[in-house]
């Protein structure tokens, strides 16, 4: 909550046009190859001051509280080691990568993120 809710708000809905609605995007991202790493590599995650084990715990909490049942049922928790490995890979361009993964994001609650 301290590190992330300023942009993502407590339930993950974000801000239409600026911060994606994670209730919609977590399931999409976790369903495509590379999406699992992307959740760790976005600036908000990777650049945070959270240690790898805290970031893993935060992402696990987010998925388990914000994603849909189907996504949660197939989700395996991030581990500290996994987060460390993914975090070491720096995204060249977050928008290009996200586009390649799931296309332009639609924000269910009011317009796209463009
Ligand atoms: C300054 C605002 C801001 C803060 C603070 C922030 N984020 Fe984000 N986050 C964004 C934006 C904007 C995106 C969309 C991708 C991008 O442009 O980086 C995003 C995307 C994400 C995504 C991928 C979901 C998607 O649809 O792209 C995850 C996961 C995420 N953030 C996790 C976190 C975590 C965990 C924290 C706290 C440690 C955090 N963010 C803090 C703004 C923020």
**pLDDT on residue 99:** 87
6 Cβ closer than 6 Å to some ligand 1 atom: yes
Which atom, in ligand 1's list, is nearest to the CA of 105? 26
Q: Is the pTM of this model over 0.75?
A: yes
The tens place of each residue's pLDDT in the chain, 114 residues long, gives: 889 999 999 999 999 989 999 999 999 999 999 999 999 999 999 999 999 999 999 999 999 999 999 999 999 999 999 999 999 999 989 988 988 998 865 554 444 444
8 in ligand 1 pocket by Cβ < 6 Å?
Answer: yes
Q: DSSP letters of 2-71?
A: TTTHHHH-TTS--BTTTB--HHHHHHHHHTSTTHHHHHHHSHHHHTSS--HHHHHHHHHHHHHHHS-HHH
Domain boundaries, the chain: 33-92
Q: Distance from the CA of 4 to the center of ligand 1, in angstroms?
A: 7
Instruction: State which of 2, 10, 42 you would mutate to test the pocket of ligand 1, scoring each by most atoms of that ligand within 8 A of its C-beta.
Output: 42
Check residue 23 and give its pLDDT.
Answer: 96
Establish whether residue 22 lines the binding site of ligand 1, counting it when its CB lies within 6 angstroms of any ligand atom.
yes
């Amino acid at each position: 909550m301290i590190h992330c809710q300023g942009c993502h708000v407590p339930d993950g809905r974000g801000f239409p046009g600026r911060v994606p609605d994670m209730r919609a995007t977590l399931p999409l991202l976790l369903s495509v190859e590379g999406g699992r790493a992307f959740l760790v590599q976005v600036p908000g995650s990777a650049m945070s001051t959270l240690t790898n084990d805290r970031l893993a715990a935060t992402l696990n909490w987010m998925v388990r509280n914000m994603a849909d049942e189907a996504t949660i049922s197939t989700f395996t928790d991030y581990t500290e080691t996994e987060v460390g490995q993914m975090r070491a890979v720096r995204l060249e361009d977050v928008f290009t990568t996200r586009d390649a993964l799931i296309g332009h994001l639609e924000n269910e609650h009011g317009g796209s993120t463009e």
